[in-house]
Amino acid sequence: MKQNAVIDENTGYTTEDGRKIGGVMMDLRNITLRFGGVEAIKNISFDIREGEIRAIIGPNGAGKSSMLNVISGFYKPQEGEVYFRGEKRPPLKPYQVARQGVARTFQNIALFEGMSVLDNIMTGRMGHIKSNMLSQAIWAGKAQREENENREAVERIIDFLEIQAIRKTPVGRLPYGLKKRVELARALAAEPDLLLLDEPMAGMNVEEKEDMSRFILDVNDEFGTTTALIEHDMGVVMDLSDRVVVMDYGRKIGDGTPQEVRNNQEVIDAYLGVAHD
Amino acid sequence: MTERNQPDQLVSVPRLLARNASLYGDKPAYREKEFGIWQSWTWAETAEEVDALALGLLDLGVNVGDHVAIIGRNRPALYWSMVAVQSVGAVPVPLYQDAVVEEMTYVLENCGARFAIAGDQEQVDKIIEAQQTVHGIAHVIYFDTRGMRKYDHSEITSFADIQNEGRAAAPRLSKELNARRDALGYDDTCVMLYTSGTTGRPKGVVLSNRNVIETSKNSSEFDHLSAGEETLAYLPMAWVGDFIFSIGQAYWSAFCVNCPESAETMNADLREIGPTYFFAPPAIFEGHLTQVMIRMEDASRFKRWMFSYFMEHAKTVGPRLLDGKTVSTKDRLIHKLGNYLVYGPLKNRLGMSRVRVGYTAGEAIGPELFDFYRSLGINLKQLYGQTEATVFITQQPDGEVRSDTVGVPSPGVELKIAENGEVFYRSPGTFVEYYGNPESTASTKDPEGWVATGDAGFIEEKSGHLRIIDRIKDVSKMADGSLFAPKYVENKLKFYPNILEAVVFGAGRDRCCAFINIDLTAVGNWAERNNIAYSSYQELSQHPQVLDTVLTHVNAVNESIANDEMLAACQIHRFLVLHKELDADDGEMTRTRKVRRAVIAEKFNDLIDALYDGSNTIYTETEVTYEDGRKGKIKATLDIRDATVVAKTKVAA
């Protein structure tokens, strides 16, 4: 069922703008996900490669977010396997997946509204804290050193995403576009190998979208982070991503470079609508 | 003569740096907030950084006399760049960081820059784009490495790499560097700064070491600046003021320059640093005041009462205390209490708890605004200057601060007022020349060194303070020969929040009349609170109560003008409130919101006639341009009001 046979499994490829894309990082094979009698995902296979920006697009209810939830370990597919870095991934809890180096943002912002931006981003460092609760409570040597290290990492991300001015602001007081950026910052704080973005640009104006696009590209460029994102804005998807998976009614109807996908008749039908029998 | 007072080795900025490094080696010279922490560099460390960069520049092949463009936001590295460039005998040319490519191209071309030092990727991109037409730039150095990895590095190098190469080349090049640094003389060029170019193309103003160091010395002594001062460097590096405050005075007095984390964090950084010496244009002070007022509206009733009670008290007592005048014991006590409850916390909020000397300049500051800060106990003063004078022409000494004057001549500055009222000055800070433009130099600076400011003003006999009236080209005479300065009157009117714009007529006539534009936000807000219904701008502008309010403002302005012997004739006899806002789309204003008198006079000539022929109402039709470019007509009947004019005889008394 693999459609992207043009690309070799291990050697990777070079993008239009000259970036080197590596071998397969995550391989999803014949995934089927059911909620009772509803099949949200029907036998879908695709892969995500090292260093790639991979987009998942499709009309409402196509199963995009479900797919992302499968990758992040939140949903367990009834059929099919997930291979991560060449090894088959057993059913894991989301926090275990996170420890493997997968971080995500949410479609409906999921931040701690009453906490400051800084504290919110610090929660992204959870996986990097090794000292136990007691030594943290009494602020003993190791906990202190660790917090300083983590704070340093967080400050670099704050600098990177240009949110210094809101460092101490409670998240609840921020406008929508900035909250999205804070979510991205928290995901980045985990230093992920694979970054999952669920509609990072939903509800943004053109300027905010441009900013966000630049940050996604910069993250990929600077840290080499592999990114999988769901997005509705076709212009953004076509500009940002290296390869695109198109879903409709839980099925995969297209997979390839933005150019290939744009010319795919089935994709055009799904977006512009045809009479379904 | 002044040279005698000068230890003869302090003839250049690099020399000042060497002195500071030996005298104040472990005192902080620069701070910058990065990654949430204030990083600091002592004078000794600064000297090391500057040396490393200067050696790197030598290695790169920078020659004596080369122009090196410096572009970016205020960061220690870029200040070091200026001094490093001077150390190798080249001339730093700071550019405005928000300049668009065309403006940058012009300046780079005009000064013939051979090298450029840029703050970040954004500036590098602009330089690369400019290089399509400017071919003189041999090498670009950038500081912030973010996003720069993919660039072709054959003619671009990072700041850190240049410094490292410089350190490596030290044994080879130190001798050359020392030789070049020692060769710097008092009359060599210190810096070249471009005028903002509001009138025509920007011109490169060449300032010598003498200009910069003498001015810095004089002005530092005037305000007793010492090595303990803290300043925040946030105004454009290409502006002469920043050069004098953050380099000239900072190096002369050896005080610390703090650079904010980013433009948006300015207010938070200001609070954290608590500068003792602070400069801001009126717009910044106005922004702060507005924020305070908005927050006070949301405060609890008790707090609001406390705020208004103590602010009212401070209005009379605060400035008197600052000026060292006598204040009754009771007032002193209330002021102390107020300081504890209101003024202190408020000053802390504004980041001005420690301000010992504050300056505002650039444009006229509203008296209310000025008094608000003074009454809090902030020693805010005014100065008057320009690039060609190395900033300082006049400034206000402590204890003689008023909102309507710009102070006494700065130390070493001579003033003279020409026949037509234009202000001329001559000072040790008077610029050398406009770069490559002898005609402009000759027309601005006469052989005796007098420079025309382009401003009209006069010196008050009682106090010896200079008062600026207007741009000389706007000043003219009325029919009876008395002075007509429209902008002076208009500014006074515009200080009222209800009045957005005003245009005063009177050149060649027997009396002055005015058009007024109301401020829709302020007046609309007032209407809302007083349940006054209106359906359009036009209707609101002609509301009798609005006209009454404007009338009281005009009368108040007349009263204050009447106290001015020279300008008493500029009192407004009659006025009307315009039915439309003056707009750049209709050609009535420039894009920078300056009124175009001639256009307005022609377009609304029926209204002007009505003002002068004594009629009480006038019907008019005006063509307007909508935002999408369509044109339409609005019709209105406008009321004309008579204002109270204070008789001239009263003035003499």
Q: Would you say B74 and B234 are in contact if contact means Cβ atoms under 8 Å apart?
A: yes
pLDDT of residue B552: 93
Average pLDDT over residues B242-260: 94
**Of residues A38 and B592, which shows the higher confidence score?**
A38
Q: Show residues of chain B in contact with A158, CB under 8 Å.
A: 35-36
pLDDT of residue B646: 82
Q: Of A8-12, A173-177, B174-178, B600-604, where does the model show the most confidence?
A: B174-178
Do B46 and B108 have their domain in common? yes
**Cα distance between residue B389 and residue B205, in whole Å:** 10
**Residue contact A221–B261, C-beta within 8 A:** no
Average pLDDT over residues B49-66: 94
Best of B35, B37, B234 to substitute, by most chain A Cβ atoms within 10 angstroms, is: B35
Nearest CA in chain B to A156: B35
For B262, the closest of A151, A162, A168 (CB atoms) is: A162
* Nearest alpha carbon to residue A160 among A121, A197, A198, A130: A121
Q: Would you say B24 and B226 are in contact if contact means Cβ atoms under 8 Å apart?
A: no
Question: In the predicted model, what is the mean pLDDT of chain B?
Answer: 88
Do B375 and B495 have their domain in common? no
Indicate the DSSP class of residue B246. I
Q: Show residues of chain B in contact with A151, CB under 8 Å.
A: 36
Both tokens of A157, joined, read 């991300």
Going by pLDDT thresholds of 50, 70 and 90, the confidence category of residue A10 is low
Residues of chain A in Cβ contact (below 8 Å) with chain B? 151-152, 155-156, 158-160, 162, 164-165, 167-168, 218, 221-222
Residues of chain B in Cβ contact (below 8 Å) with chain A? 33-37, 146-147, 149-150, 261-262, 264-265, 268
* Nearest alpha carbon to residue B241 among B196, B191, B279, B189: B279
* Coil/strand/helix, residue B83: helix
Q: How far is CA B480 from the centre of its chain?
A: 36
**Residue contact A162–B34, C-beta within 8 A:** no
**Residue contact A158–B36, C-beta within 8 A:** yes
Q: Show residues of chain B in contact with A164, CB under 8 Å.
A: 33, 36, 261-262, 264-265
Going by pLDDT thresholds of 50, 70 and 90, the confidence category of residue B305 is very high
| Topology at the third CATH level for domain A103-191 | Rossmann fold (3.40.50)
Q: Would you say B53 and B84 are in contact if contact means Cβ atoms under 8 Å apart?
A: yes
Q: Show residues of chain B in contact with A218, CB under 8 Å.
A: 146-147
Least confident span in B164-178, B382-396, B548-562, B635-649: B635-649
Do B451 and B582 have their domain in common? no
For B261, the closest of A164, A168, A218 (CB atoms) is: A164
Do B534 and B510 have their domain in common? yes
For A165, the closest of B37, B147, B265 (CB atoms) is: B265
**Residue contact A165–B262, C-beta within 8 A:** yes
pLDDT of residue B199: 59
pLDDT of residue B318: 84
**Residue contact B262–A218, C-beta within 8 A:** no
Do B267 and B368 have their domain in common? no
For A159, the closest of B35, B264, B268 (CB atoms) is: B35
pLDDT digits (tens, 9 = 90+) for B340-386: 999 999 999 888 999 999 998 877 777 778 888 988 888 999 999 88
Closest chain B C-alpha to A221 CA, distance in angstroms: 8
Which of residues B405, B438, B471 is at a domain's end?
B471
Average pLDDT over residues A196-214: 87
**Residue contact B264–A151, C-beta within 8 A:** no
Closest chain A C-alpha to B123 CA, distance in angstroms: 17
Phi first, then psi, for residue B163 (nearest 5°) are -65, -40
pLDDT of residue B460: 85
Residue A159 has pLDDT above 50, yes or no: yes
pLDDT of residue B651: 42
Question: In the predicted model, what is the mean pLDDT of chain A?
Answer: 85
Least confident span in B28-32, B573-577, B599-603: B599-603
For A152, the closest of B33, B35, B264 (CB atoms) is: B35
Q: Show residues of chain B in contact with A156, CB under 8 Å.
A: 35
**Residue contact B36–A221, C-beta within 8 A:** no
Q: How far is CA B134 from the centre of its chain?
A: 31
**Residue contact B37–A155, C-beta within 8 A:** yes
The total number of structural domains in chain B stands at 3
Closest chain B C-alpha to A3 CA, distance in angstroms: 33
* CATH code for the domain of B66: 3.40.50.12780
Going by pLDDT thresholds of 50, 70 and 90, the confidence category of residue B168 is very high
The CB-side HSE value for B90 (13 A sphere, CA atoms) comes to 29
Kindly provide the b/e burial profile for residues A128-140, where b requires at least 16 CB atoms within 10 angstroms of the residue's own CB: eeeeeeeeeeeee
pLDDT digits (tens, 9 = 90+) for B121-146: 889 999 999 999 998 899 999 999 88
**Residue contact B35–A160, C-beta within 8 A:** no
**Of residues B361 and A71, which shows the higher confidence score?**
A71
**Residue contact A156–B35, C-beta within 8 A:** yes
* CATH code for the domain of B495: 3.30.300.30
**Cα distance between residue B290 and residue B379, in whole Å:** 20
**Residue contact B147–A221, C-beta within 8 A:** yes
- Cβ burial of B447 (10 Å; 0-12, 13-18, 19+) is exposed
Least confident span in B322-326, B414-418, B500-504, B597-601: B322-326
For the domain A1-101+224-277, what is the CATH superfamily, name and number? P-loop containing nucleotide triphosphate hydrolases (3.40.50.300)
**Residue contact A165–B268, C-beta within 8 A:** yes
Nearest CA in chain B to A162: B262
Going by pLDDT thresholds of 50, 70 and 90, the confidence category of residue B403 is confident
Q: Which residues, including other chains, have CB under 8 Å from residue B127's CB and lie 6 or more apart?
A: B69, B71, B104, B108, B116, B118, B137, B140
Kindly provide the b/e burial profile for residues B181-199, where b requires at least 16 CB atoms within 10 angstroms of the residue's own CB: beebebebbbbbbbbeeee
CA angle A45, A50, A51 (to 5 degrees): 120
Residues of chain A with CATH 3.40.50.300: 1-101+224-277, 103-191
**Cα distance between residue B384 and residue B359, in whole Å:** 10
Average pLDDT over residues A154-182: 90
| Residue B497 lies in domain | 476-652
Best of A117, A152, A159, A222 to substitute, by most chain B Cβ atoms within 10 angstroms, is: A159
B200 — alpha (psi -120 to 50), left (phi > 0) or beta? left
**Residue contact A155–B35, C-beta within 8 A:** yes
**Residue contact A155–B262, C-beta within 8 A:** no
Q: Show residues of chain A in contact with B150, CB under 8 Å.
A: 221
Q: Of A59-73, B78-92, B405-419, where does the model show the most confidence?
A: B78-92
Do B170 and B213 have their domain in common? yes
pLDDT of residue B3: 38
Do B131 and B217 have their domain in common? yes
Going by pLDDT thresholds of 50, 70 and 90, the confidence category of residue B652 is very low
Q: Show residues of chain B in contact with A159, CB under 8 Å.
A: 34-35
Percent of chain B with pLDDT over 90: 45
Which of residues B248, B273, B298 is at a domain's end?
B273
Residue A65 has pLDDT above 70, yes or no: yes
| One-letter identity of residue B196 | S
**Cα distance between residue A72 and residue A94, in whole Å:** 6
Residue B1 has pLDDT above 50, yes or no: no
Going by pLDDT thresholds of 50, 70 and 90, the confidence category of residue B431 is very high
The CB-side HSE value for B605 (13 A sphere, CA atoms) comes to 4
Nearest CA in chain A to B148: A222
pLDDT of residue B461: 83
Do B231 and B167 have their domain in common? yes
pLDDT digits (tens, 9 = 90+) for A124-155: 888 777 777 777 787 777 888 888 889 999 99
Percent of chain A with pLDDT over 90: 24
pLDDT digits (tens, 9 = 90+) for B618-633: 888 888 877 677 788 8
pLDDT of residue B526: 85
Average pLDDT over residues A106-117: 88
pLDDT digits (tens, 9 = 90+) for B505-525: 988 888 899 999 998 888 888
Going by pLDDT thresholds of 50, 70 and 90, the confidence category of residue B615 is confident
Least confident span in A89-93, A208-212, A266-270, B439-443: A266-270
Closest chain B C-alpha to A159 CA, distance in angstroms: 6
**Residue contact A165–B34, C-beta within 8 A:** no
pLDDT of residue A1: 38
pLDDT of residue B653: 37
Both tokens of B440, joined, read 């402009």
**Residue contact B264–A164, C-beta within 8 A:** yes
Nearest CA in chain A to B266: A165
Q: Would you say B126 and B104 are in contact if contact means Cβ atoms under 8 Å apart?
A: yes
For A164, the closest of B147, B149, B262 (CB atoms) is: B262
Q: Show residues of chain B in contact with A168, CB under 8 Å.
A: 268
Do B267 and B282 have their domain in common? no
Do B32 and B146 have their domain in common? yes
Nearest CA in chain B to A158: B35
Do B69 and B55 have their domain in common? yes
pLDDT of residue B5: 39
pLDDT of residue A8: 54
Do B402 and B483 have their domain in common? no
Average pLDDT over residues A226-233: 88
Question: Sign (positive/negative) of CA torsion A32, A34, A37, A39?
Answer: negative
**Residue contact A164–B149, C-beta within 8 A:** no
pLDDT of residue B67: 95
**Cα distance between residue B341 and residue B303, in whole Å:** 10
